[in-house]
Amino acid sequence: MNEMDPVAFLADLDQKPTRLRELATLIDHGGLRWPIGEASPQRILLAGMGSSWFAAQQAALRLRRAGCTAVAELASAAQSWPTGSTTLVVGISASGGSAETLDFIGRYDNAVALTNTADSAVQALATHTVQMHAGPERSGVACRSYQHTLIALLALEQQLTGTDLALADIVRRAADATHDLLDRRAEWLPRVSGALEGGDGVWVLAPAERIGSALQGALMLREGPRRMADGCETGDWSHVDVYLTKTLRYRALVFPGSRYDGAAAEWMRQRSSVAVSVGGEFGGAAETVRFPGDDHPLVAALTEVIVPELLAQSWWSAPLSPTP
């Protein structure tokens, strides 16, 4: 693991729009293609750890919705689907060196590595490689690579299903939206920070279709400033996390869009919890952050995590107390 640095983290975040536009141009010219033959695989197995697994969960859900047999597996699982020529196995590791992912794809004779690091260990084990094209992340935090993993897996969806997602256009819109949030951070970031500061942690909610945003957003708050944070799917929140609103100074960062937003908002209202909404309206939110294209689910999925990332960076730069 690289030594993590909040100044370098901000520099990594500032590069997001540029890297996204470069990737959109690459897609325009036929890049970001997956090594899939004429016969489509019968099953798709996406495996990774941390941010890689978060992105894989979203991609697998989209593939199932399109009629594909796809699962996202933690690479640390002792067993998964058996090897076979009809299964597409994708090992995802931005660094190319995640031990669990290396162990996982080492069990398969024919696997594809999705990585951000050329000539890495995962590439050496795989039969084929797809590059994320996120550029070096000097901070040691997987931020741009998470975003680029989502895009690469959307490219895989296009190839497998034959559906035109207008991916290059979506990526450009995400670049514009990300640039907008970065450019306006002096306006919205202090308000978001003020609303979420002072609680017993931050709980991040998102709909199932964008569950990676909740998990990645919470990870950023744990990884950088070492704050208490956790992510949850909005509908499931009423079954597994609602209890904490009764006993804790509860602070929620919500990515709206779930049909169950109303139930979560009502519980929070009844128990005087504080919520911040990103990308849409959420009942009773103390603050709401909007951005161009936040009504498009793919633009939202590729953009919204910049809010907890920038929040994490600001808290990391001025921690409450020394962290290990």
| H or E, element range at 246 | none
% of the chain with per-residue pLDDT over 70: 97
- In order of their start, the domains of the chain are 6-165 (3.40.50.10490), 184-317 (3.40.50.10490)
Extended strands (E) in the chain? 43-48, 70-74, 87-93, 111-115, 128-131, 202-206, 229-233, 251-254, 274-278, 287-289
Sign of the alpha-carbon torsion through 68, 74, 75, 81:
negative
Q: Residue 164 CB: number of other CB atoms within 10 A?
A: 7
pLDDT tens digits along 113-153: 999 999 999 999 999 999 999 999 999 999 999 999 999 99
Instruction: Measure the CA–CA gap between 138 and 3, rounded to whole angstroms.
Output: 9
> Smallest Cα–Cα separation from 255: which of 226, 201, 291, 227?
291
Report whether pLDDT(203) > 50. yes
Q: How crowded is the C-beta side of 179, counted as CA atoms within 13 Å?
A: 11
What would the two tokens of residue 223 be?
A: 């990884």
Contact present, 256 and 235 (Cβ < 8 Å): no
Pairing type for strands 111-115 and 202-206 reads unpaired
Burial tier of 255 (Cβ tally within 10 Å: 0-12, 13-18, 19+):
buried
pLDDT (0 to 100) of residue 277: 98
Instruction: Measure the CA–CA gap between 238 and 229, rounded to whole angstroms.
Output: 17
% of the chain with per-residue pLDDT over 90: 93
Q: Residue 56 CB: number of other CB atoms within 10 A?
A: 29
Confidence of residue 3 (pLDDT cuts 50, 70, 90): low
Contact present, 51 and 94 (Cβ < 8 Å): yes
Q: Once rounded to an integer, what is the mean pLDDT over residues 99-108? A: 96
pLDDT (0 to 100) of residue 321: 47
Confidence of residue 323 (pLDDT cuts 50, 70, 90): very low
Contact present, 244 and 273 (Cβ < 8 Å): no
Q: Once rounded to an integer, what is the mean pLDDT over residues 8-17? A: 98
Which residue shows structure tokens 């993590």?
4
Instruction: Measure the CA–CA gap between 201 and 238, rounded to whole angstroms.
Output: 18
